[in-house]
Structure 1
Amino acid sequence: MTYAIMGLIQVLYVALYSIRSVFMIKGMKYLAAFISTIEIFVYITGLAIVLKYMDSTLGIITYCGSYGIGILLGIYIEQKIALGYIALQVISEQAEMSHELRAKGYGVTTWTGQGAQGTRMVYIVLARRKQYVHLKALIQQIDPKAFMISYEPSNFVGGFWTKSISK
């Protein structure tokens, strides 16, 4: 029973640590500070238990395994809350993709590019990270051969999105 509690506390601690780190990176300092308060309480509580059972092989295995599980849980939670934005650079033969994407509410900037096999359209599409899977599927539906590169922009100045972000 004590090993199970030790494992659960470690999983909770590492998951909180992971989430707090994301909030810090995203600039959400007050939420990160609040979570760190809970995180350190869980850590100290767990540490007291862990130190009692570190001389046992099962205690060490539980501690190490639950740390890994905590990392996985933290990553899962971060992906579910999906804070921030994603930008996709799309290279496509489809000249009308921007109309369909704008009709769905996405901000799209386009220009013409020259690839190894001729002229292509280049699109920059900005979306909330929670919309990434849907946006990617929509683009692949419009052009299954589209080439996509995604990245997370850290700040915005001007343009279509700054108007809707501030709402």
Structure 2
Amino acid sequence: MGFTFIGIIIGINILYVSFFTLRMLMVIKGYRLLASLLAMVEVFVYLKGLELVLDNLDNPINLAAYCIGWGMGVFVGSKIEEYLALGYVTVQVVVDSLEMELPGKLREHGFGVTSWVAEGRDGPRLMMQVLTKRSNEQKLWKLVTSMAPKAFIVSFEPKNLKGGFWVKRLR
């Protein structure tokens, strides 16, 4: 059995927990059908891995391999989801100058921007709200910070979208 068997246990758990992590994130983001299909594969991999460990409980190294694979699976699953960048993000930008051409520049780069003047602690601020695909979030952050290095930026994931030009483009 040896190292090959331990490698198989670790590999199966990396695969299983990666599927588990992706499935949970897909459920949270509303991809229910895809999550259901992934769950079928996930449970098959889980049962095969569990069978291997339960049939060989006499060796504590097998149990340790199972635990190591579990931890590595969480990491791998989260990296895969980060790479896929499923869903959308809302980025709120606050700049301390009302003279900024930032909304127009962001629109030139294809971002939808809603902007307004807000009152901050030290006076008027330009507020912007931008909805974009998560895969474009880093591009947006870099663009904003290159043009307004002191901008205050917050991003969050919207759960539901209704109305606006973005929703029309999504369909």
- Fold shared, TM-score > 0.5 on shorter chain: yes
Stretches of structure 1 that go unaligned for 5 or more consecutive residues are none
Q: 2:66 aligns with which of 38, 46, 63?
A: 63
> Which secondary structure does the structure 2 equivalent of 1:113 belong to?
strand
- Map of 1:141 onto structure 2: 146
Residue 100 of structure 1 pairs with residue 102 of structure 2: no
> Which secondary structure does the structure 1 equivalent of 2:130 belong to?
strand
2: CA distance, partners of 1:135 / 1:54: 51
- Map of 2:157 onto structure 1: 152
- Map of 2:79 onto structure 1: 76
Q: 2:166 aligns with which of 148, 161, 165?
A: 161
Determine what percentage of the aligned residue pairs are the same residue. 37
- Map of 2:124 onto structure 1: 119
TM-score (norm 2): 0.93
1: CA distance, partners of 2:56 / 2:140: 49
2: CA distance, partners of 1:60 / 1:10: 11
Q: 1:32 aligns with which of 30, 35, 48?
A: 35
Q: 2:12 aligns with which of 2, 9, 24?
A: 9
TM-score (norm 1): 0.95
2: CA distance, partners of 1:119 / 1:54: 66
Stretches of structure 2 that go unaligned for 5 or more consecutive residues are none
State the aligned residue count.
166
Q: 1:86 aligns with which of 65, 89, 93?
A: 89
Report the CA distance between 1:57 and its aligned residue.
2.5
Report the CA distance between 1:96 and its aligned residue.
1.5
